[in-house]
Amino acid sequence: MAEITTDMLDYATNGSNASGFLARPPGEGPFPAVVVIQEWWGLNAHIKDIAGRFAKEGFVAFAPDLYHGEVTSEPDEAQKLMMQTDMPRASQELVKATEYLSQKPYVIAGGIGSTGFCMGGGLALTLATDTPLIKAAAPFYGVNPQPIDKLQNLQGPVLAIYAEHDDWASAAVREALQSAMERFGKQLEVQVYPGTEHAFFNDTRREVYREAAANDAWKRVLALFRAEL
C-alpha cells in the first residue's frame, strides 16, 4: 500500500509568507480536505500526526504554523506564546491557508473542513465563520467566536466536542454555543465525554489522554467530514 506524503509548504498571507504542514493520501485525487489547527504548544509532532491520520483516511490535511516556527512543551511558555499571538492576524492566516488549500488540484472543490484543539478549537470554529469555503467544523474543547453573532455566517454543520471537566471550554461556553446556534438556525451536535478533562484527545499527554473518548470522537469527526465534504 502506498504511503502518505508530507511536506512543509509556504503560502501568502497578510503581505508576507506563512507556512504549514501538508499531509496527502497516495494518488492524484482529488480528495476532501481539512484544515487542522494547533493547540497552544505550536505546530508540534502531535498536530502533524493528526494531519497524517487524516491523510491515511483519505483526506488532504493542512496544519498552518501560527507561531511561525516556535514550539514548546512547557505550559508557561505555551501560555506566553498564545498570549503573544495576534488572534485576528492568526484568523486571517487561517483564511488564507484555506484559500490556498482549496486551489490545489488534488483537493475537491466543494468545500473544506476545519478542526482544532484547545486554542485551535476556538480558531477552527471562528474560521468556519470567516470563510464560506469551510463546509463543516469539528472543534475540540474550544471557546466561541467573538462576537458570537458571527455564527450566523456558518455554511455547514458543527460537531463541538468537549470534556466534562474543563475550565477552558466550560459548561457556560457550551450553553452559549447551543443558544446562539439555535437562534441562527444552524446545525449543531454537542458531544461531551463524561469523566474527561481538557485535552483528552492528546495521546502525548498521558495524564489527561482518554483512549475510549478519543477514539469515539475521532470516528464522529471522520463521519462528519465524509458526509459533508
Catalytic machinery residues? 118, 166, 198
End-to-end CA distance of the chain: 24
Among 68, 123, 130, which residue's Cα sits nearest to residue 95?
A: 130
Closest CA to 4 of 30, 21, 27: 27
By the 10 Å C-beta count (0-12 exposed, 13-18 middle, 19+ buried), 195 is classed as exposed
CA neighbor of 100 nearest in space, from 140, 60, 135, 129: 60
39/28 Cα distance (integer angstroms)? 30
User: What burial class does residue 229 get, using C-beta atoms within 10 Å of its C-beta: 0-12 exposed, 13-18 middle, 19+ buried?
Assistant: buried
- Cα 41 from chain centroid (whole Å): 14
Burial class (CB in 10 A: 0-12, 13-18, 19+), 190: middle
